[in-house]
Amino acid sequence: MKKSSISNNVIRRLPRYLRKLDDLAYHGIDRISSGELGKQMGLTPSQIRQDFSCFGEFGQQGYGYNVEGLRYEISNILGMKNGYSIIMVGVGNLGHALLENFGFEKYGFQILAAFDVRAELIGTTIADIPIYDGAIQADFIRENDVDIAVLAVPKRMAKEVAQNLVDGGIKAIWNFTNIELEIKDPDVIVEDIHFSDSLLVLSYYLSELTNKETAEDD
Amino acid sequence: MKKSSISNNVIRRLPRYLRKLDDLAYHGIDRISSGELGKQMGLTPSQIRQDFSCFGEFGQQGYGYNVEGLRYEISNILGMKNGYSIIMVGVGNLGHALLENFGFEKYGFQILAAFDVRAELIGTTIADIPIYDGAIQADFIRENDVDIAVLAVPKRMAKEVAQNLVDGGIKAIWNFTNIELEIKDPDVIVEDIHFSDSLLVLSYYLSELTNKETAEDD
């Protein structure tokens, strides 16, 4: 594997490929050319071949890609076969929504428990996931060798709770707080999810459309 | 403006630049070179210059970029000065979380109302936003010339509600349902937000880290 030299842009395209392949499989398509795949995803065939060449040879010249095979390879590259364990930290509206609707298992993750500091939540369950006292989360991480914490606490608590997760030995934090966590340990992976990035892209295209219509009216 | 030829990849980097510039301004930095900006963002200086050259000339040779000036230009390009109006469609846990925490106004959007079909919610407010009966949302869009709908309804209702929004004349849908909406009208902009893309990138890096550690142990 020549993984470590692979650019972040290539990595970020992998989940998109996976979604497209799921969609193709769902529609009963079992083979696709790089040309057709590119057309459907807004990428050039050469970009697709280049992306996949980072990980080995997936296609067969002239035959295109086997949809199931490629799906299997990409899901492996993304670590979906590793069965990473997850805890949810913070069960406000967002944490609640993620527990009920996200479907962690679908991507190969195991969700073990959720944590909150509010007494009325502790001891209850959401979507069969037990909610424990946030005070014991670091111990829980240590005892269960938890891989990933989903951070969905209020902004004002974000840094303190993140440090507590790191102290417990968490390996990765999926950060929904929109706060820069500033984790000192370089071996802890932090992936921030920024809703605003997506809304601003929408706003750009809306603005472009409006400009076009105005130009046509002139 | 040569907007329409600009690649989606460049557009998707603009909100990231904006976040970085906000961060720089917050830390009192008023000027930055493309080299330093690139270093902080994991991009090459030439990629940064190329990205910005799509929109005109923002920097001055040898002086770098003015942080406030560049922030202003990018926020304009992203349509943040247009004051787009927004409605929230679906006030479950996710819609509730977005209304309370997202801060649409911070990005220049005006959030007008929310809609749900559950009788116990209709007539109440969340974060001062009134919740109306979903049955009247198409009329509301027409009467108020609403630009953007945030779609946060359960999956099973996603397509039907989306069609109702389009019938009302919505211009853009920010789609949180993880369902492919299949809108026929090419002038309606749909931006899907896929939480899983972000978690799978985290999973990739975690997997890479584990492989590295295993290799070192051998």
Domain layout of chain A by residue ranges = 3-76, 85-196
Q: Are B133 and B71 in contact (CB under 8 A)?
A: no
And the tokens for B169? 């004349």
Indicate yes or no: CB of A199 within 8 angstroms of CB of B189. no
pLDDT score at A173: 98
How far B157 CA lies from chain A's nearest CA (Å)? 14
Does B1 score more than 50 pLDDT?
A: no
Does B198 score more than 50 pLDDT?
A: yes
Coil/strand/helix, residue A190: strand
Residues 156-185 of A with CB under 8 A from B: 171-172, 174, 180
Cα A161 from Cα A135, distance rounded (Å):
10
Q: Return the biggest CA–CA distance within chain A.
A: 68
Per DSSP (E only), the strands in chain A are 31-32, 65-66, 85-89, 110-116, 125-126, 129-133, 148-151, 172-175, 189-192
Indicate yes or no: CB of A207 within 8 angstroms of CB of B147. no
Q: Are A70 and A36 in contact (CB under 8 A)?
A: no
pLDDT score at A61: 67
Q: Are A112 and A146 in contact (CB under 8 A)?
A: yes
Q: For residue range B68-123, list pLDDT tens digits in order.
A: 999 999 999 999 999 999 999 999 999 999 999 999 999 999 999 999 999 999 99
Does A2 score more than 60 pLDDT?
A: no
Tell me the pLDDT band of A217, cut-offs 50, 70 and 90: low
pLDDT score at B61: 67
Cα A161 from Cα B135, distance rounded (Å):
42
What H or E segment, with its residue span, contains residue B66? strand B65-66
Indicate yes or no: CB of A174 within 8 angstroms of CB of B18. no
Torsion of CA B52, B55, B61, B64, to 10 degrees: -50
Please determine whether the domains at B3-77 and B85-196 fall in the same fold group of CATH. no
What architecture is domain A3-76?
A: Orthogonal Bundle (1.10)
Tell me the pLDDT band of A1, cut-offs 50, 70 and 90: very low
Chain mean position to CA B90: 18
Q: A85-196: CATH homologous superfamily?
A: NAD(P)-binding Rossmann-like Domain (3.40.50.720)
What architecture is domain B3-77?
A: Orthogonal Bundle (1.10)
Q: Among B12, B97, B194, whose Cβ lies nearest the Cβ of A93?
A: B97
Tell me the pLDDT band of A54, cut-offs 50, 70 and 90: confident
In the sheet that A129-133 helps form, which strands lie side by side, from edge to edge?
Answer: A125-126, A129-133, A110-116, A85-89, A148-151, A172-175, A189-192
Q: Among A12, A93, A100, whose Cβ lies nearest the Cβ of B201?
A: A12
Q: Most B CBs within 10 Å: which of A10, A98, A201, A209, as the mutation test of the B interface?
A: A201
Contact pairs from chain A to chain B, CB under 8 Å = 176
What H or E segment, with its residue span, contains residue B151? strand B148-151
Indicate yes or no: CB of A8 within 8 angstroms of CB of B180. no
**What single DSSP character describes residue B117?**
S
